[in-house]
Structure 1
């Protein structure tokens, strides 16, 4: 029987608003980030979506987001933390390199500056989320992670051409739904919680 993973990006942070590179470093959620996370929690309650287990990365912006979505117990995991950008941490996003033309991502660029490659990030996130879904009694799981980490996970299961064709964008608080069975994830949808007629900022 297929299991379900809801993989969520954390809410907007101060560094997101200031367009700073934010990987291993952290910054607090903004008022919008807090409000959006509460809206996601409201969506899950209205849709009667419950989780038997919840997880987040070890970074504060992820745990703060999760605590706004649900009050259930959770576990923090290093394996789903954000991409490490080395000496580029907290610098302006204008310093990000152009995408590698073959891998269509940052590729190995950040390795030379003490960071991670795209494939390293992808491998640890895939390993961690697979191990989670293989645990007993894990039928419907929520995991709060980050933009880069979540995108590289998505790239494992969908080609870049397919991602662009579907117009998938991982905004803050985006929720990606996957089905998991026999060691494989199948992307289902990006849940558009903000399009609900009853949505309110509070």
Structure 2
């Protein structure tokens, strides 16, 4: 049986607007973040996209986004949280290391500063989303998570060059996947706010 996952990045936050590193630390949604999340909810209604289950990261920016998109009851799941950037949390994005195009991420850079490595985040996201989709009643699922965590999850399923060419992961972007035999297949990205 093929199932469907709609995986959404949370709405814009104060730290996004201020260009601050935001992983495990949290900040509130901006008015733009609120308005954009509502637009996604309208898109789903207008296109008759209905969910049987919903999940969000335990971080407030994700659960607040979910509540603006749907009034479906949902579960908060720690495995969906954002990458932990350690001592870089709350600092200027200008302090981020350079992206390594050979590995397609920042690798283990943040581990030395008390954060997580890219592989650790990727494995956590793959395990968590696989467990969610394996639930017998979960056929059309809505999940709200975070940019870094979603990127690393996607990177597990499609080549880096395809991500660079075809996927824009803005705040409130929604990635649609099909799920069958424990494999996620990326279908498309829904961007209704850009």
Deviations 1:3-51 (A, max 9, x none): 0000000000000000000000000000000000000000000101010
Q: What are the residue-to-residue correspondences of 1:62-101 with 2, within 5 Å?
A: 62-101=62-101
Number of matched pairs: 194
**C-alpha separation between the residues in 2 aligned to 1:121 and 1:177?**
20
Structure 1: give runs of 5+ residues left out of the alignment.
Answer: 196-202
Please give the root-mean-square deviation of Cα atoms over the aligned residues, in Å: 0.9
8 Å CA contact 2:57, 2:77 repeated in 1: yes
Q: Which residue of 1 aligns with 2:188?
A: 189
Structure 1 position 99, deviation (Å): 1.6
Stretches of 4+ aligned residues off by more than 2 angstroms = 192-195
CA distance in 2, matches of 1:91, 1:193: 30
Compute the TM-score of the two structures, normalised by the length of structure 2: 0.98
Partners of 1:27 and 1:91 lie apart in 2 by 13
Shift of 1:169: 1.4
Q: Which residue of 2 aligns with 1:169?
A: 168
Alpha-carbon shift at residue 191 of structure 1 (Å): 1.0
CA distance in structure 2 between the aligned counterparts of 1:47 and 1:7, rounded to whole angstroms: 16
The Cα of 1:101 is off from its aligned counterpart by 4.3
What secondary structure is seen at the aligned counterpart in 1 of 2:193?
A: helix
Q: How does 1:44-63 map to 2 (within 5 A)?
A: 44-63=44-63
Residue aligned with 2:48, SS: coil
Question: For structure 1, which segment, 14-23 or 184-193, has the greater mean C-alpha deviation from structure 2 after superposition?
Answer: 184-193
* Runs of 5+ unmatched residues, structure 2: none
Q: Distance in 2 between matches of 1:47 and 1:115?
A: 40
Which residue does the alignment assign to 2:150?
150
